[in-house]
Amino acid sequence: MDFTIRPATVDDAEAMAHMHVQSWKESYGHLLPPEFFEKQEAALPDRIERYRAFIAAGHTRMLAHDPDGHLVGLGAAGPGQDEDGPCERELFMLYTLESVHGRGVGQALVKALIGDGPAYLWVLDDNPRAQAFYRRNGFVPDGKRQLCDPSWYSLPEHRMVRPGVVS
């Protein structure tokens, strides 16, 4: 599949918010009740404004577009936020639409966001597809576990760490 990876701009915020919620429906529809997604849809205007603020502040967000210009993936990374972070860089999010799974979009976003260097991330326990993807990219669980915010129904998640790729 041909696709383009580029940094997000403030003008992308609306498309990003819609694609993000769609990817949640596709990825977490089996884990979360319909009310969760209804709340996310209702909160789209706030999410759009948050994206605009994050992008304007210089936070790294990368986008993947298909040949027709449709947004099919997004990701964000930056300085780690865990007090006990195992390294300096955190992959905050990585989402692709189901229609492009297995076509290299996620891989290209990871490369653009964190390269081959050390990084860590949090992944839901009941997300085996994402965990397998991250393992292929050198991430391994480090034993740190937590529950998501109650707005995410306190789903369990764990941290995965990549020490970096040796060339």
Residue 147 belongs to a domain with what CATH number? 3.40.630.30
Residue 54 lies in a domain: yes
From the number of C-beta atoms within 10 Å of its C-beta (0-12, 13-18, 19+), residue 46 rates as exposed
Residue 157 lies in a domain: yes
Residue 62 lies in a domain: yes
Instruction: Decide: pTM greater than 0.75.
Output: yes
Residue 86 CA from chain centroid, whole number:
19
Quick: pLDDT tens for 23-36: 999 999 999 999 99
Quick: pLDDT tens for 42-57: 999 999 999 999 898 8
- Structurally, the chain folds into a number of domains equal to 1
Helix (H) or strand (E) holding 159: strand 156-162
Query: Rounded CA gap, 114 and 138, in Å?
Result: 12
* Cα–Cα distances in angstroms (integers) from residue 106 to residues 53, 77, 101, 139, 146, in the given order: 24, 13, 8, 14, 25
pLDDT value of position 165: 63
Residue 91 lies in a domain: yes
Residue 167 lies in a domain: no
- Which domain covers residue 82, as residue numbers? 4-162
